[in-house]
Amino acid sequence: MEVSSYDSGISALEPVVNQWVLEYFFHLYVDAFKNCRNEDFVQIRDIVSILIQRRLRCVEQNSQVLRIMQLLSCIEEGADPDCTFDEDNNETPLESAIGILDLMNQEKLFPADLFQTNKQMLKEAAVVACIQKQQFTKARGILKKHITSSRNTRQLRADLLNIIQERNVKHPLIANFTLSTVKEKVYDMFENQIDNIPSYLLTVAQKEPTDLQGASKEPLTPEKQAEGSMGNVSSQDEISTLEHELPASQSKDLTSPEKQAEEEASTARETGPQRGLVTLHQLVMEQDSQQESENEEEDNQEEQRAEKPQQQKRRNSSVRKLFNTPVTSKRRKTSTDSRVLGQARVNEEQDTWSDEDNLFKENGLSKSVSSTSLSGRRKKWSEEETEWIRLGVEKYGEGKWSKILSSYPFEQRTATTIKDRWRTMKKLSLV
């Protein structure tokens, strides 16, 4: 590994070393996932999300690694029932996971038969998780979208629809559901693939005879050591091949031409290829940008938006951008900040808000004279507000006016006026 210049040598080596680091953290990551150590998981995810912005060797294995990590990330995300996923496209984490599975399928990175049973399981989990969170509308949406009525699924589909209809959260199908089983199955699904990812650093670390070993070994679980020793077999080959590849590796850092073209096409509005290099980070971003393309319209001309300051989620947010779908520009009016902030619940649907906002603008304009001259009295109901009520009733049920009031950014409305509005809406057959 002689190199003429120290600097260029270092930078030339970076992809190789990064590759080792990625593989190492991949195993840590999987291990944290498997053993439900959420703290570790999140931290490692942060680290990797930064790492993959650097250059790595371009090996097909990395696509597998990153896809698996993406998938696990989505599933882990869904594991926290209090997690208010700020992903502002309306996808739940588990739904995103389904999408990733689809992508994996398309990309043929894995044996095709790997997914089928688990995909069904994941779809079911996505619906059930929503129901558990009382997000019935969303649950129905996911159900309709993902669970088609085939022979095998007809019964399940009917059952779930029924549960949603009755808001029957007590149903065994719902009550017995836990995400840990999902996690287990997903882990099992990829176990072989995971084992096939080498772990050079772990192997070396294990051989390290110094007294540092005790310290470095400490975070290692038995399984990981097993993995390490498993990788041991190939580690000699690994090193030698790496040595041979090194001179060529600089040019190989570029993703393959096809990939790059594909990339440019699909991520035009994302960070374009920078200095001719397409990092794996961008590769991960690729699917994200194609997922939500319709939300361009961003009108934040109005007031402040709620930056939900939930510390424990904020930690995830940067990573979410890398691993999950980037946060889109949902705007949420906060009439009374304290209200929105006070309650840590933000996971309501926000389906048609931007449209309604437009309507609201016209409405507000035309009525502004009368409403202001009335000095607050008798404010006409905007289309937007009406829609919130509609959604609110659908979600929380008729009569939960306080709940609805606090769930949407109403201004100068009370639970009673909302109730009255609902009455009018019914009278006018707006519902």
Partner DNA sequence: ATTGGGGCTAAGA
Partner DNA sequence: TCTTAGCCCCAAT
* Residues at the site binding DNA, with contacts judged by CB under 7 A: 370, 373-374, 377-381, 398-403, 413-417, 419-421, 423-424, 427-428
Residue 326 per-residue DSSP state: P
- Residue 383 neighbours by CB under 8 Å, 6+ apart: 356, 359, 360, 363
Least distance (Å) between residue 165 CB and DNA:
20
Please tell me the distance from the alpha carbon of residue 43 to that of residue 49, in angstroms, as a whole number: 10
Task: Tell me if 383 sits within 8 A of 357, measured CB to CB.
Answer: no
- Report how far residue 19's alpha carbon sits from residue 59's, in angstroms, rounded to the nearest whole number: 9
Contact 186/72 with Cβ under 8 angstroms?
yes
Instruction: List Cβ neighbours of 234 (8 Å cut-off, separation of 6 or more).
Output: 198
Radius of gyration of the chain (CA): 25
Q: How far apart are CA 314 and CA 320, in angstroms?
A: 10
Say if residues 173 and 163 touch (Cβ distance below 8 Å): yes
Query: Do 310 and 344 meet the contact criterion of CB atoms below 8 Å apart?
Result: yes
Phi, psi (degrees; rounded to nearest 5) at 373: -65, -25
* DSSP for residue 347: -
Question: Which H or E element spans position 204?
Answer: helix 200-207
Tell me which residue of 233, 244, 294, 301 sits closest to 269, measured CA to CA. Answer: 294
Assign 42 to helix, strand or coil. helix
Closest-CA residue to 187 (of 121, 92, 108): 121
| 309-344 exposure pattern, b = at least 16 Cβ within 10 A, e = fewer | ebeebeebeebbebbbbbebebbbbbeeeeebeeee
Q: How many CB atoms lie within 10 A of CB 83?
A: 18
Tokens read off for 201: 């650093």
